[in-house]
C-alpha cells in the first residue's frame, strides 16, 4: 500500500529536531534510514502527522572505539558496522550479530538508532544492547539522559522513549580479548526475522570456570530478554557437556515463547535450547 499522508521536515540541528517532535503532540515520528518505519507506513500500522528526518544532523554516524568500549552513533548503518574491521576484535559479538540483520539493500540504509527505537522482538541490535549491558544516550525536551537497555525495551515495538526523544548513541562496555562468546539465530530464509536467537558471553576465572555470564534471547518474547536462570546455571561452572545441557535446560524451563503463524511456542522453546547449546559448544572450541 501507499503510506498515509504526513508532513515532512529535515532539521539541521538536534535541538530543532527535538522541538519539531515536541510540537507534534505525540504524533510525530523520527525517520532516518526508514527501513523499519517505511514498511510500518506501507502497512498503515503507523500513521504519524509529521516525520522528522535526521538526514542533515551531523555527528550521529560515528563509530568510536576506546578503553571504555564501543560507541555507536544513532545513524551508524549496518553496512558501516560490517565494513569497520576494528569491530571484529573490539566487539566480536556485535560484528557477528549484525551479519544477520536483514538484506544487502536494507543494510545500506538501516541504522542502529532506528532498530533500537523500533524495538522489534526479533531484532539483533536490541538483543546486543540488552545482553551486553548497553546504555542509550537519549536527547529530548527535558535534556539528555542515559538509559540502560535493561529498562529501555518495555514490550513489542515499545520502549521508554518519550514522543519528543531521540536516541543519539549506544554505548557497549569494553570487551576483554579473552572473553568467550557466541551468537546463534534461526530463520527459515537468510535475513528474515529470527524465530529464536541467542547471544551469550562469559569470562573464565583462574579455575577455568565461567564467570559473569550474560545470556540474552531474541524472538521468543515481547522484547529481548536476559535468561537469568541460564546465566546462574553457567556461572561458577566449568563449561562441560553436562554444564551445557544444564544451562540449556534451565533456559528452556524459564521461557514461555508465544505461538504465531511462523512457529508454535513449543518449537521456539526447543529451538532456543538447541541454539544455546550449540553456541556454548562453539564458545569452548
Partner 1 sequence: MQVAFELNGDPVNADVEPRTTLADCIRDRLGRTGTHVGCEHGVCGACTVLVNGEAVRSCLMLAVQAQDEKVVTIEGLSGDQLSPLQAAFRKHHALQCGFCTPGFITTAHALLTNEPDADQERIREVLSGNLCRCTGYIPIVEAILDARSHYARDGEK
CB 83 → partner 1: shortest distance, Å? Answer: 10
* Binding of residue 5 to partner 1 (CB under 8 A): yes
* Binding of residue 85 to partner 1 (CB under 8 A): no
**What values do phi and psi take at 229, rounded to 5?**
-65, -40
The answer to whether the CB of 109 falls within 8 A of the CB of 34 is yes
Locate 195 and state its grid cell.
524465530
Applying CB under 8 A, the site for partner 1 has a residue count of: 31
* Binding of residue 8 to partner 1 (CB under 8 A): yes
* Residue number, 55 or 89, with CB nearest to partner 1: 55
3-class state of residue 211 by DSSP: strand
* Residue number, 43 or 205, with CB nearest to partner 1: 43
Measured distance CA(198)–CA(216) in Å, rounded: 6
* Binding of residue 188 to partner 1 (CB under 8 A): no
CB 27 → partner 1: shortest distance, Å? Answer: 14
The answer to whether the CB of 200 falls within 8 A of the CB of 107 is no
* Residue number, 112 or 243, with CB nearest to partner 1: 112
The residues, ordered by sequence, that sit 6+ positions from 207 with a Cβ below 8 Å of its Cβ are 238
* Binding of residue 79 to partner 1 (CB under 8 A): yes
The answer to whether the CB of 28 falls within 8 A of the CB of 163 is yes
* Binding of residue 191 to partner 1 (CB under 8 A): yes
The answer to whether the CB of 3 falls within 8 A of the CB of 42 is yes
- Burial code (b: 16+ CB inside 10 Å, e: under 16) for 137-166 equals bbbbeeeeeebebeebbeeebebebeebbb
Interface mask (CB under 8 A) for partner 1, residues 11-50, using x and -?
--------------------x--xx--xx-xxx-------
CB 100 → partner 1: shortest distance, Å? Answer: 11
The answer to whether the CB of 255 falls within 8 A of the CB of 229 is no
Interface mask (CB under 8 A) for partner 1, residues 200-239, using x and -?
----------------------------------------
* Binding of residue 173 to partner 1 (CB under 8 A): no
Q: Which of 4, 26, 155, 236 binds partner 1 (CB under 8 A)?
A: 4
CB 8 → partner 1: shortest distance, Å? Answer: 4
* Residue number, 97 or 244, with CB nearest to partner 1: 97
Q: Which of 102, 118, 133, 108 has the alpha carbon at shortest distance from 214?
A: 133
Residue with cell 523520527: 30
List interacting residues with partner 1 (CB under 8 A): 1-8, 10, 31, 34-35, 38-39, 41-43, 51, 53, 55, 79, 102-106, 108-109, 189-191
Amino acid at each position: 500500500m501507499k503510506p498515509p499522508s504526513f508532513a515532512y521536515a529535515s532539521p539541521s540541528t538536534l535541538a530543532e529536531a527535538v522541538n519539531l517532535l515536541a510540537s507534534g503532540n505525540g504524533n510525530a515520528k523520527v525517520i532516518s534510514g526508514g527501513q523499519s518505519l517505511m514498511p510500518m507506513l506501507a502497512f498503515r500500522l503507523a500513521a504519524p502527522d509529521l516525520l522528522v528526518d535526521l538526514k542533515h544532523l551531523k555527528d550521529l554516524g560515528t563509530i568510536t572505539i576506546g578503553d571504555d568500549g564501543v560507541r555507536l552513533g544513532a545513524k551508524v548503518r549496518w553496512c558501516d558496522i560490517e565494513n569497520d574491521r576494528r569491530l571484529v576484535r573490539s566487539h566480536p559479538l556485535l560484528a557477528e550479530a549484525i551479519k544477520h540483520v536483514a538484506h544487502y539493500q536494507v543494510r545500506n540504509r538501516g541504522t542502529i538508532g532506528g532498530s533500537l527505537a523500533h524495538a522489534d522482538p526479533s531484532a539483533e541490535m536490541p538483543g546486543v544492547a540488552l545482553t551486553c549491558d548497553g546504555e542509550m544516550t537519549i536527547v529530548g525536551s527535558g535534556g539528555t539522559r542515559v538509559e540502560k537497555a535493561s529498562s529501555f525495551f518495555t514490550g513489542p515495538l515499545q520502549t521508554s522513549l518519550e514522543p519528543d526523544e531521540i536516541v543519539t548513541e549506544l554505548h557497549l562496555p569494553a570487551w576483554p580479548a579473552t572473553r568467550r562468546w557466541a551468537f546463534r539465530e534461526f530463520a527459515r530464509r537468510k535475513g528474515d526475522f529470527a524465530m529464536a536467537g541467542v547471544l551469550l558471553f562469559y569470562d573464565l576465572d583462574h579455575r577455568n570456570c565461567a564467570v559473569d555470564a550474560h545470556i540474552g534471547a531474541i524472538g521468543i518474547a515481547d522484547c529481548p530478554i536476559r535468561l537469568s536462570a541460564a546465566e546462574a546455571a553457567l556461572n561458577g561452572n566449568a563449561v562441560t557437556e553436562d554444564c551445557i545441557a544444564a544451562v540449556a535446560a534451565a533456559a528452556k524451563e524459564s521461557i514461555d515463547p508465544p505461538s504465531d503463524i511462523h512457529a508454535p511456542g513449543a518449537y521456539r522453546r526447543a529451538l532456543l535450547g538447541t541454539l544455546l547449546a550449540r553456541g556454548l559448544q562453539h564458545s569452548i572450541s
